[in-house]
Chain A
Amino acid sequence: MFIDWQDKLKRIGNRVVLFDIPIAMHCHHYNINLHKMLEDSLGLEGVRLIYNAAEESNHTAFKIMLEEYPLIRSDKSKLEFAASIYQHCGLGVINFQDVGPNGGRIISPSSHHVTGWLAKHGLRKTPGCHFTRGWIAGALEAIYDLPVGYFEVREMNCKMMRDPVCEFDVRLKGGRHGD
């Protein structure tokens, strides 16, 4: 699968776009400030807001991107494409080798949000990759042609807590793996 990133990430007039979808470049200061503001002000509701925003925006974007590449047919290719997008957006590295339409496990050995959180606030006592959880949910729901909210992604291990990797458990909403 060849993707011409030079062509896909570009300026159209005054907008910066990825696959013609408007993007903004933000640094870890802003992303982590928003994260902390939401957790501090709204608690679990704020955590959910980050998750839902990442899920919704990613679901919409992946639908558009996958439509543009109809030759990416197999689930495996689509997952590789998703990992490539994650890395290309500077969000980190994510490995999808053990996941399917019924859920599974996903590993991320590095991420923008982990690096940013640790740089600004140091270690956490609870998992903190709410953005990535929502990002994963939205990407998988688009890849398997499922509606937003179909999956629930939990973080079992988190580098923000000194775990060696971030590990995510994907389940059908309601608690069980689909198989």
Chain B
Amino acid sequence: MAIDSLKIMRAIMEGSKIRDEKGIIPLFGVYLSLYFTSYYNIVSFDFLSRMGKRRAEEAEKLLIGAAQECGYSTFHGIRQSWEWEELVQPMLETVDDQIEGFLAVATAFGWGGEIEVIDLIPGNRLHFRVHESYESAGYLKRLGIAEVGKCYMLRGVAAAFMDLLYGDAYPDGCFTFSAIEPFCRAKGDTFCEFIAEKSST
């Protein structure tokens, strides 16, 4: 059975409208918040700026790492949830199908618009394209054309997907993979692309 991304997206849109009495959204095994992308972009890009050129590499690593650790925990929670069990699990034929399920969730979360897998080599390489990353849009709007890719959250998440599927069993597999962003709309490319492969260190 193919992954029905629309069904997953609809379920998340509906689920994200349910709050408990404390104003918290418990969905897919995590606490979800809905907030303006401008906030996340200010945080990321002002952080880079405050860290300065001398600490730029460290800053990028921290942003990617924060997202990768998050993606690893979040999507682990998601695939342990009853919502995943009931909604997505029946659509999965192979372990690799989970990637399509993860990407449908990422689209539903508003992270990047349409997302398409270019290539998946199980255990080795994931390559996907994102058409409307909020990070690239935010960078362009706030700071103009960039020299390097600016979608740190999606870079971390791309690697986290591979960590979950092909790294050691949770919680020991995080940072097995790392991702690059060869194309980014913030650099003037027409889309953003991410390639996750085994980390060299």
Q: Which of A26-34, A66-74, A170-178 contacts B (4 or more CB under 8 A)?
A: A26-34
Q: A14-B113, A41-B51 are in contact. Are A89 and B17 (CB under 8 A)?
A: no
In the assembled complex, the Cα of A89 lies from the Cα of B74 at a distance in Å of 18
Q: A110-B22, A110-B24, A111-B23 are in contact. Are A24 and B30 (CB under 8 A)?
A: no
Q: Is the CB of A29 within 8 A of B113?
A: no
Interface residues on B, range: 35 or more
Q: Total contacts A to B, CB within 8 angstroms?
A: 171
In the assembled complex, the Cα of A60 lies from the Cα of B41 at a distance in Å of 14
Q: A9-B16, A90-B23, A93-B23 are in contact. Are A24 and B70 (CB under 8 A)?
A: no
> Chain A interface mostly helix, strand, loop or mixed?
helix
Q: A49-B46, A87-B23 are in contact. Are A18 and B34 (CB under 8 A)?
A: yes
In the assembled complex, the Cα of A37 lies from the Cα of B109 at a distance in Å of 22
- Please give the distance in Å from A16's CB to the nearest CB on chain B: 3
The residues in B between 71 and 103 inclusive whose CB is less than 8 angstroms from any CB of A are 73-74, 77
Q: Is the CB of B42 within 8 A of A87?
A: no
Point out the residue from A22, A27, A41, A110 that lies within 8 Å of B36, measured CB to CB.
A22
> Chain B interface mostly helix, strand, loop or mixed?
helix
Chain A residues near B35: list those with CB within 8 A.
23-24, 26, 57, 89, 91
Interface centre among A22, A27, A87, A92 (most CB of B within 10 A): A27
Q: A38-B43, A54-B39 are in contact. Are A23 and B23 (CB under 8 A)?
A: no
Whether A124 is near chain B, meaning CB under 8 Å from some CB there, is no
List the interface of chain B (C-beta within 8 A of A).
9, 12-13, 16-17, 19, 22-25, 30-40, 42-43, 46-47, 50-51, 58-59, 62-63, 65-67, 69-70, 73-74, 77, 107-114, 131-132, 134, 137, 153
